[in-house]
Chain A
Amino acid sequence: GAVVSQHPSWVICKSGTSVKIECRSLDFQATTMFWYRQFPKQSLMLMATSNEGSKATYEQGVEKDKFLINHASLTLSTLTVTSAHPEDSSFYICSARSGLAGFTDTQYFGPGTRLTVL
């Protein structure tokens, strides 16, 4: 149980284009989803927290207009990198947390999406 998927697993795009990454909880309802960014050989950096049906809460220094997050349902959140540039190239990982009592203490992570901007 507690499986989280991401699509696509990798994407290459041209500078200036937008890329959408999907994060799905496959066997549970995720009231909260989190988006992280990981640079090579580094730890995860939290970008934003999203609750179903609400606007995402962005961490300090993360451009909300560049990284659009939507959490329209209890099983799906999307991250759109708008007008991507080479410096946006990174490994993006989402996680999801159930809202059920007794299951709210753990985040379950997706397999990640490798974004390369040319």
Chain B
Amino acid sequence: AQSVTQLGSHVSVSEGALVLLRCNYSSSVPPYLFWYVQYPNQGLQLLLKYTTGATLVKGINGFEAEFKKSETSFHLTKPSAHMSDAAEYFCAVRPEGDDKIIFGKGTRLHILP
């Protein structure tokens, strides 16, 4: 069965520093890959997605992620963290041909002033 692993349930970075949130998936066939952000007491907002084509995907709010098939990874990055980036981030996969999205357990990003 497909699974998604997010390394680190909590990540803290200083304001202005690089943000790196790690995500690995298990699949022999590259699935569709997503990053969602959730602010407190809100639903999920799509940050970016990879389906096919260019492996470096740019999303909203300055985030980007790179699909690396050889590493089965889809890590999320942002060059310079803002206080407003503090939230819960979920990596998710959707196996090709499947309706369902499988979510990772989430990583809470803390921004230090």
Q: B41 within 8 Å of A by Cβ?
A: yes
Which 5 pairs of residues, A with B, have the shortest CB-CB distance? A109-B44, A111-B43, A109-B43, A112-B43, A43-B103
User: In the assembled complex, which residues on chain A have CB atoms less than 8 Å from the CB atom of B43?
Assistant: 4, 6, 93, 109-112
A104 to chain B: closest residue by CB: B99
- Out of B34, B46, B49, B106, which one reaches A43, CB within 8 Å? B106
Using a Cβ–Cβ cut-off of 8 Å, how many residues does chain A contribute to the interface with B?
A: 21
Q: A42 within 8 Å of B by Cβ?
A: yes
Q: A4 vs B42: C-alpha distance in the bound complex, in angstroms?
A: 12
Q: B83 within 8 Å of A by Cβ?
A: no
A110 to chain B: closest residue by CB: B43
- Out of A32, A95, A106, A114, which one reaches B49, CB within 8 Å? A106
Which residues in window 70-114 of A have CB below 8 A to B?
91, 93, 95, 105-112, 114
Given contacts A93-B43, A112-B43, contact A107 B101 (CB under 8 A): yes
Q: A105 vs B44: C-alpha distance in the bound complex, in angstroms?
A: 16
A99 to chain B, nearest CB (A): 12
Contact status A106-B45, CB under 8 Å: no
Q: A95 vs B90: C-alpha distance in the bound complex, in angstroms?
A: 15
Given contacts A6-B43, A93-B44, A110-B43, contact A105 B94 (CB under 8 A): yes
- Out of A6, A43, A95, A111, which one reaches B105, CB within 8 Å? A43
Q: A44 vs B100: C-alpha distance in the bound complex, in angstroms?
A: 12
Q: B55 within 8 Å of A by Cβ?
A: no
Q: A25 within 8 Å of B by Cβ?
A: no
